[in-house]
Amino acid sequence: MRKIILILFVIVAAINLTSQIIGNSDLAFYSKPFLMPLLMIYFAVSSTEKSSLLNFGLLALLFSWIGDVVLMFQDRGELYFMLGLGSFLVAHLIYIYTYKKARWQEEENGLLPTQRIRYVFILVLAGCGLVYVLLPKLGDLMVPVIIYASVIVAMAIFALNRFGYTSQASFGFIFFGAVLFMMSDSILAINKFMEPLPIAGFWIMFTYILAQFTIVQGLLLHKKRVPTL
């Protein structure tokens, strides 16, 4: 069952990405709503235990799906963009909480304080830099975009702070996914508010799909630490 769902997810993702390249808007439109539900099913059947970690992960994917669907109609009015932005904002907040739960209580070979500050600074600088560039173009959306950018940077920082509190594989997948999420939203923002980018739809969806998948994989790879006697 797990492999079948994964294959279906990959097929739908390939269809969506291909449609972005060839400019088939109908195919892109009708394939997009199936991505997150398939990933939710994959997450559920792959999890070895039914826990709050699974439940919150599924909830984040659910709000991501709502955001996906709502943003499909953003050309009908600014309200749809705001609702989509709000859905993803909630998804990121849930991911932040999920990352806090997907941690060991005791640290093992974690980052040095100077390393942590350095990496956090890079993430904050990336978020602030993008907002600074976009500010003249945001208009009435300035406050919502700043709030959203702050939350997604916080999501990446919480992913970073799992280093040393989980396995290297779990940390790597989730942190990579968080950075990809930032990249996807950055491309979307530049394409929407500044100037159209070549095959922007492909790069937005490629980084987004890969981000969600790697985050799910990272959550699946997190295992509770067995106390040593």
Distance CA 30, CA 57 (A): 24
Alpha carbon distance 70, 167 (integer Å): 36
Q: For every one of its 229 residues, what pLDDT tens digit does the chain have, with 9 covering 90 and above? A: 889 999 999 999 999 999 999 999 999 999 999 999 999 999 999 987 767 788 899 999 999 999 999 999 988 888 999 999 999 999 999 999 999 999 888 888 888 888 989 999 999 999 999 999 999 999 889 999 999 999 999 999 999 999 989 999 999 999 999 999 999 999 999 999 988 888 999 999 999 999 999 999 999 999 876 554 4
R_g (Cα) of the chain, nearest Å: 18
User: Is residue 102 within 8 Å of 161, Cβ to Cβ?
Assistant: no
CA distance 182 to 194: 17
Domain ranges of the chain: 2-221
> The tokens of 144 are what?
């919502």
Q: Which pLDDT belongs to residue 205?
A: 97
What tokens does 165 get? 């509190």
Q: Report pTM.
A: 0.93
